[in-house]
Amino acid sequence: MKLSGSPLNKAIFFDRDGILTTEKTPPKDSKHININENIKEVLPHLKKMGYLLFCITNQPDVARGTKTKEEIQEVNDILWAMFPEIIKIESCTHDDMDNCVCRKPKSGMIICLAKEYEIDLSKSWVVGDTWKDIGAGINAGAKTILFGKLKDDDKYIPDYSTTKIKNIIGIIEGDISD
């Protein structure tokens, strides 16, 4: 939260699976989480740069009946303990057919966090590994970094892309509009 009269906060919103973890799909259960060790080095640096750090994740397996909200929360709690720089993890448990405002590429999770933590989205970033993550960032008015390579059928084009997670620091430090 900001103090009265102080400027708005800036933030970075990370996807969960494929960014905080090494797999692009949700872990089978809380015993099968493979932490992305490289992101563990990146988060403290970004926090020192003055960014509030969040995780936003689509978890449609709840709507599909293959996981419970409690199972998703158990994984999130473990990740939250592993990444103490992250302030909050938000999960959308809907499927595409639910047409909710929180499911990426819609920006509902980002917008809610921006209101709650008084974030200037024009000075903020979304880091993800799919076009849906990038779409959520674009739709919220944030800058975007794709971790991975663009595919021909991607529906949104990121501001930046990298195949090395540690490059995120240099991209954000080097962005002259920030």
Q: Is 17 a catalytic residue?
A: yes
Cβ neighbourhood burial of 162 (10 Å; 0-12, 13-18, 19+): middle
State how far the alpha carbon of 121 is from the alpha carbons of 24, 101, 117, 124, 139, in Å. Answer: 26, 17, 11, 5, 10
- Longest CA–CA span in the chain (Å) reads 47
Catalytic site residue from 15, 120, 129, 178: 15
Which own/partner contact pairs does 31-36 have at CB distance under 8 Å and 24+ positions apart? 33/75, 33/78, 33/79, 35/79, 35/82, 36/165
Q: Is 77 a catalytic residue?
A: no
Residues 21/7, Cβ–Cβ less than 8 Å: no
Catalytic site residue from 17, 98, 129, 152: 17
Catalytic residues: 15, 17
